[in-house]
Amino acid sequence: MNEHGVSERGFSAEEIDTSRPHPARMYDYYLGGWDNYEVDRQAAEHVIQVHPQVRLSARANRAFLRRAVRDCVRDGIRQIIDIGTGIPTSPNTHEVAHESAGDVRVAYVDNDPIVATHAGAKLTGAGHAAFVLGDVREPEAVLAHPVVRGLIDFTEPVALLLVAVLHFVKDEEDPAGIVATLGAALPSGSRLVLSHATAEPYEGYAGGYTDVKARDSVLGTYKNATAALNLRDRTAIEPLFGDFALQDPGLVRVPLWRPDGPVPSAEELNSTIFYGGVGQKP
């Protein structure tokens, strides 16, 4: 801390809000982590009670991130901007990338000071990685941040990760515009790795629509959190890719994106609430 009570990560201790649940800390709880508070655990347990499959979805979404990162690195990309990092859960983005290439550089961005407190030890200690306290809703500020500019070469392809973050951006905050601003700064050959929560039923499942009462109860829980949850259908998520051309197999439930194991049943896919896809900038 300096004389103003602000850490090197740019926030004061008073900025850590423990009075309301935070989506990143709830997500950490879904994944079995311990970096959360009682208020987060209570909210997460309520979600689990009405939608027990949420932990399945969180794990599937995390596995999608790992597969997508490996795919980007195998295709030669050596720099990543991971926005909406969340509480560090190993293997983290840089750990997955370094399995294939040790020179991959990763800029992590998140707006939760709690994430920042863990970033030094868990995200940036291995080198070729840095953390920025920033908000996806302020894309210009993220792109202009000196840490990002010092780590990322914007003349070379970049993998932009927006994994489980845009569903916390309201329509009036223009999620498509945010992606367009970020994408405009990236050169040809860059990738957009995006996943997004939905209440839409899986098209191959005959069991009917997602439980509406459960959905509304989950949405109510997140309304009391530091960021509300904005579920969108596939037809609203796909346009977020903008100029990024979707790669095979397109925008699909995350377990179906280039799976490296058995494909889940239609019922399980219906309970996995995330769509995911990877686009390439022409």
Tens of pLDDT, residue by residue over 98-138, are 999 999 999 999 988 877 776 666 666 666 888 899 999 99
Give the total residue count for the chain.
282
Least trusted range by pLDDT, from 15-19, 59-63, 201-205, 236-240 = 15-19
3-state SS assignment for residue 119: helix
CB-CB contact of 118 with 90 (8 Å):
no
Rounded Cα gap, residues 176 and 139, in angstroms: 12
Q: Kindly tell me if the per-residue pLDDT of 4 is higher than 50.
A: no
Residues 242-255: what's their mean pLDDT? 98
Residue 22: predicted pLDDT: 87
Residues 34-51: what's their mean pLDDT? 92
3-state SS assignment for residue 262: coil
Report the chain's mean pLDDT, rounded to a whole number: 88
Predicted confidence (pLDDT) per residue in 220-248, tens digit: 999 988 889 999 999 999 999 999 999 99
Residue 24: predicted pLDDT: 86
CB-CB contact of 118 with 35 (8 Å):
yes
Predicted confidence (pLDDT) per residue in 56-93, tens digit: 999 999 999 999 999 999 999 999 999 998 877 778 89
Rounded Cα gap, residues 96 and 264, in angstroms: 23
Residue 124: predicted pLDDT: 63
Rounded Cα gap, residues 104 and 112, in angstroms: 24
Q: C-alpha angle with apex 139: 175 to 189, nearest 5 degrees? A: 85
Residues 256-266: what's their mean pLDDT? 94
Classify residue 117 as exposed, middle or buried by CB count within 10 Å of its CB (0-12, 13-18, 19+).
middle
Q: Kindly tell me if the per-residue pLDDT of 9 is higher than 50.
A: no
Helix boundaries (H) for the chain: 23-30, 38-50, 54-74, 93-100, 113-122, 139-144, 146-151, 175-184, 212-223, 234-237, 266-271
Q: Kindly tell me if the per-residue pLDDT of 210 is higher than 80.
A: no
Q: Kindly tell me if the per-residue pLDDT of 253 is higher than 90.
A: yes
Give the whole-number percent of the chain exceeding pLDDT 90.
Answer: 66
- Extract the tokens encoding 218: 């989950």
Nearest to 119 by CA among 143, 85, 148: 85
Least trusted range by pLDDT, from 10-14, 79-83, 147-151, 275-279 = 10-14
Residue 16: predicted pLDDT: 64
The more confident residue out of 202 and 157 is: 157
- Extract the tokens encoding 276: 């995911």
Q: What pTM was computed for the model? A: 0.90
Least trusted range by pLDDT, from 30-34, 39-43, 204-208 = 204-208
Q: What is the DSSP letter of 12?
A: B
Q: Kindly tell me if the per-residue pLDDT of 17 is higher than 70.
A: no
The more confident residue out of 25 and 236 is: 236
